[in-house]
A and B are shown apart, each in its own frame.
Chain A
Amino acid sequence: MSDEITFTIDGVEVTGTQGQTIMQAADQAGIYIPRLCWHADLSPGGSCRVCTVKVNGRAQAACTYPISEGMLVQNETDEIREWRKSIVEMLFVEGNHFCMFCEKSGNCELQAMAYRFGIATPRYPYMFPQRDVDASHPDVFIDRNRCILCGRCVRASRDVDGKNIFQFVNRGRETRIAINAEANLADTALSAMDKAVEVCPVGAILRKRVGYAVPVGKRKYDHEPIGSDIEARRAKS
C-alpha cells in the first residue's frame, strides 16, 4: 500500500507522505507557512501559533497537525493573514524589541516576519515590561527583553544538548525563560556551541563579542523576505 497522501492547500494539490505534518508537506511542495517556534532540527513546539492554518474549516497549528487524504487546508486567506499579523504584533509589544540597535537585526526571524507581513508599527500599545539581562556567562549573553518565549532553547537544550538548562516558569504574561541554576547563566553547563544558543530566532540568546561582524547587505534577510527559500522550490518545480 502506498503511503502517499494527497490534499490541497489553498486549492493547490499537494502530495506528502504518511506521518508528515502540514508544514513538512507544504515546505516540500514549496508553499511557505509562516512560523517562529518551529525549527528544522527540533521537535515541533506548536506554541507560537504563527503557523495557524484552517483544516477543513478549523484553526490548527500546521507544525503539529498531521496530513490526511483529501484534507482542505487554507493558508493564505485574509482572515488567517490577519491572525498571524496580530500574533507578531503582540510579540512586539509584549517585549522590548529595539531593532535599530539589536545585533540580530537583519538575521532576526521576528523582524523578518514583520517585514513580510508589512507591519510598520504594532496596532497595540507597548507594554514596556521590566525584563532582565544575564551577562554572567563568559561566552553567552541573555537579553530577556527580546525573548518571544518560542521555547526553541528549551527543546534544544533538552533534546539535542542533553543539558536541560532552559525551562519556562510562571504563567500568562508573567511567563519567562528560567535556567537550571540559582541565579546566573554562568553557573549552568551551557556552552557557546550548544544548539540552544544557535537556534534562538531573535536576539535573546547571543554568542558574546560577535556583534555586527556581518555587514549590512550580507545578512540573511537583507535582500529576500523570510520564506523565500521555501517558495523558490515551488518556482523551480
Chain B
Amino acid sequence: MSDYVKMWEDLGMDLETHDALCQVLPTAFGDVYLSQENRPEGMGFWDFVVSEIHGIRPAELIEAQKNGQKVFGTFCVYVPDEVVIAANGIVTGLCGGSQFWVPGGEKVLPKNTCPLIKASVGARLDRTCPFFRIADMYVGETTCDGKKKAYEILAEDVPVHVMDMPQMKRAEDYDKWAHEIEKFAGVVEGLTGNKVTPEKLNEAIKIVNNKRKALKRVYDARKADKLPISGKDALLMMQIAFFDDPVRCAEMCNKLADELDQRIKDGVSVFPEGTKRILLTGTPLAIPNWKLHHIIETSGAAVVCEEMCTGTRYFENLVDETQTTLEGQYKALTDRYMKNNCACFTPNTGRIDDIIRLAKEYKVDGVIDVNLKFCSIYDTEGFFVERALKEAGIPVLGIETDYTDSDAEQLKTRIEAFVEMLG
C-alpha cells in the first residue's frame, strides 16, 4: 500500500474523483485477469504494474524530471519515440481507455466524438490522470479530425506539438514525413536542451528496435497451436509497453517470451483444445479497455492477434540501424513509420494485406473487426476489410462499441453466435 497521495496532491490531481477509479480498477482487473487459470508466471510483472498503475511509473517520471529529463506524452504510434530518446527525453502514453474519463471529455467535446478522444481530454481536464499532469509536452498528430481539434483544447494548458501526418503514401508524402520528423527533433532539442546527434539517434533506434523485437517474440508465441498465453494477457503487456521504460519493457517481454517458448515445448496451453482462434482488427484498445478480449475469451474463443495500434502496428517493421547521418536516419525512421497502415490514409489497401497475412500466420478461424463508436475512418474502411475477408473465405464479424458496459451482454450473444458458426 504505497502511499502516493502526497505525489498526487503535488501533481494537482483531483483526489476524490480519482479515488472512484481506484475503487473500480481492482474489481475489474480481478474479474478479467485474476479469474484466469494457469497464467504464465511472467505476467506477475504486469499484474504488479497495474496494481501500482498511477503510482510507480509516475514516481519514476517525476524523479527523472528532478534530474533534468523531460517527459513527452504521446497519443499515437506514428510519433517516433527514437527522436525523444535520442535527446535524453522520456516518452509516455496517456490515459484514454476508460469510461471513467468520458463524461469529463463530453463537457467540452461533441458527444459524437470517439470515446478514446473524449476519455483523453476528460482525463486531462478533470485532473485524474497522473501522466497527463506530469508530461512537459504533449505530442499530437493529425490522424483524425477529432484529435486535431482536441489538441487545440489541450494546448490551452500544456505545450502541444502537432506532427502533420501525410494522408497518402506517395513519394512526396514520404519526404513530407521525413521533414516532420526533422522538425519534431528541433522541438525536442528545444525543450530538452540536448542535441540529437547521429550517435545518440542510432542508440535510440536500437533501443526501440529491441523493444519491438521483444514484443514480437511474445506475439510469435501466439502462433503456436497450443496457446501458451491468453489474448488478454498479451493485450495487457502491449498496453503497458506504451508507458514503460523501453529497455525494461524489452527485458520483461523477452523474459515472458522465454517462458512462453518453454510452454510451447512442453505443450502447455491456457485454452482447451479446439478453442477458436480470433484475430482482432480495428481501432486501438487503450488501457484499461479489456472489454472485448474478456467477452471473446469467455465465449469459447481466444484472441491470438491484434492488428491494431495496440498490437502489430506498434512493433512490426524495424528501423534500419546502419544509417550514420541524421538525414539518413530521418529517412530510415520515415520508411518504418510509413509502413504502418492506419485508416487515416487513402487508399489504405496495405492494411487489408496485413489482415489477410496475419490471419494466415496466426492460423485464425475468424476475424472480428472492431470500431470505437464515431471513428468514421475505421468504420468506413470496414466495408473493404469485411469484403476482402469474405472473398478470402475467412469468417468476419463487424462490431461497433465504446467503453460502456451497457452493450456487454448483447456483444456476448453476438460473439457466441459467431464462434458457434465457426464450427
**Do A and B interact with each other, yes or no?**
no
A interface residues, Cβ below 8 angstroms from B: none
B interface residues, Cβ below 8 angstroms from A: none
